[in-house]
Amino acid sequence: MLIKLYGTLGHTAEDAHRYSPAECSGTMKRKITGNPNVKDVSTSYIERANLTMRMHMRRFTRLTNAFSKKLENHVHAVSLHFMFYNFCRIHSSLRITPSMAAGIDDHVWSMEEVVMMADTQDVTERKSK
């Protein structure tokens, strides 16, 4: 985990009222689980993932007609995004899907396959109730 420390660093009280983030005065790195190389800990990877998700799904933007009001709808939208991103979309840097690069799958999924899988899961859940 990379913890960023923020402070005023000699700024005036007037600067505190301005709409701007505080300056980063330092960082602390901590191991949470596993055995990571602490030198390589960075927020860049998750920040890029968050940006990609925000740009692909407008549900993360308020005041749009796609904004999720129900948590259940939001969860479904995020799940659908990750399914598409990892199984249907060919990434230019990989030239294949991430699921194929990881050895999880052997073909690019079509949206029809995703919908059929979701329908099958829905029917299975209804039968179990």
DSSP assignments along 13-38, one per residue: HHHHHSSSPPEEEEEEE---SS---G
pLDDT in tens, 21-65: 677 888 888 878 888 787 877 778 888 888 888 888 877 776 777
Torsion angle in degrees (nearest 10) through CA of 112, 113, 119, 121: -160
pLDDT at 66 over 70: yes
Q: Give the residues across from 5 on adjacent strands.
A: 26
Q: Give the residues across from 26 on adjacent strands.
A: 5
The answer to whether 84 and 99 have CB atoms below 8 angstroms apart is: no
Give the C-alpha separation, 29 to 68, whole Å.
Answer: 34
Residue whose entry in the numeric block shows the structure tokens 């998750």: 46
Look up the pTM and report it.
0.63
pLDDT at 13 over 90: no
pLDDT in tens, 81-125: 999 999 999 999 999 999 999 999 999 999 999 989 888 877 677
Q: Enumerate the domain spans of the chain.
A: 1-38, 68-129
Q: What is the pLDDT of residue 1?
A: 80
Give the C-alpha separation, 60 to 71, whole Å.
Answer: 12
